[in-house]
Amino acid sequence: MKIFIAATVVFITCLILDVIYDQQLWDFNTRITKYMQQKQTPGLQSMFNFFSNWINIFPGIALLIFIFTENKLASIIYMCLIQFTISFNSVLKNVYHQPRPYWIEPDIVALSCNKEFGKPSGHAMGSLLMCLLLPLMVLPSSFVKKPKLIKSIILGFVSIWIVMTALDAYNRIDSAGLDVFELFYFNLSLLFALTYTGIFKKQIVIC
């Protein structure tokens, strides 16, 4: 509970700072976005698009685990958290009501077209939850039993995935500077979920 309270305080503090420095973050975002647009290469663009588009594979994995194993409770909780994330993100987009960079800046050319508001980024909010909680919540028993090398490879890949999906600014459709708020929000969610990871390990056993 102490961890949850501390994370909540950090979340509220970050939210306040996000509102105070909104214009500065927007200016920083437009500058860095234009710079990345000038330096992009076809290979880098393809890599970003791959990680951005395939983030949705994680709910499918959780569904397969739900169908073919006895680990149903963790899968349900995992999918409910994802649905909560999507819904909460939609609410925040309408609260912030911030246009996407390419709607305003004529020098920014988006690599994809999104009609909803851009802040906060759905990819940045969802990637941390989907990537880290899948092995920790849905696959706790098998994940703990893996050798250190395999766990290091898994965590390394997940870390890369988080970075890639959090940088939707490369596609010129979100505000990168504002992802500070989103990542702090998911630190809150992650710490709260990890508080109960031990319960999942004791109660849920994979076939």
Q: What is the structure's pLDDT at 68? A: 85
What are the contacts of 56-65 at 24+ separation with CB within 8 A?
58/82, 58/130, 58/131, 58/134, 59/130, 61/134, 61/138, 62/134, 62/138, 65/138, 65/139, 65/206
CB within 8 A of 162, min separation 6: which ones?
127, 128, 131, 132
181 vs 140, higher pLDDT: 140
d(CA 5, CA 135): 25
Q: What is the structure's pLDDT at 187? A: 55
Contact 143, 136 (CB under 8 A): yes
Residue 177 pLDDT > 60: no
178 vs 114, higher pLDDT: 114
Report pLDDT digits (tens) over 77-93.
Answer: 888 888 887 888 788 77
d(CA 192, CA 84): 14
Count the neighbouring beta carbons within 10 Å of the beta carbon of residue 74.
25
Q: What is the structure's pLDDT at 202? A: 46
Q: Give me the residue label for tokens 């234009």.
A: 34
Q: Give me the residue label for tokens 């851009």.
A: 118
Q: What is the structure's pLDDT at 199? A: 44
Q: Give me the residue label for tokens 């994330």.
A: 85
In which band, very low, low, confident or very high, does the pLDDT at 179 lie, cut at 50, 70 and 90?
low
What the block records as the tokens of 152 is: 């290091």
Report pLDDT digits (tens) over 125-172.
Answer: 777 677 777 776 777 766 667 777 777 777 777 777 666 665 665 554
Predicted structure pTM score: 0.69
Q: Give me the residue label for tokens 């995935």.
A: 161
Q: What is the structure's pLDDT at 75? A: 84
What the block records as the tokens of 85 is: 């994330």
- The share of the chain scoring above pLDDT 90, in percent, equals 0
Selection from 166, 196, 207 nearest residue 81 by Cα? 196
In which band, very low, low, confident or very high, does the pLDDT at 33 lie, cut at 50, 70 and 90?
confident
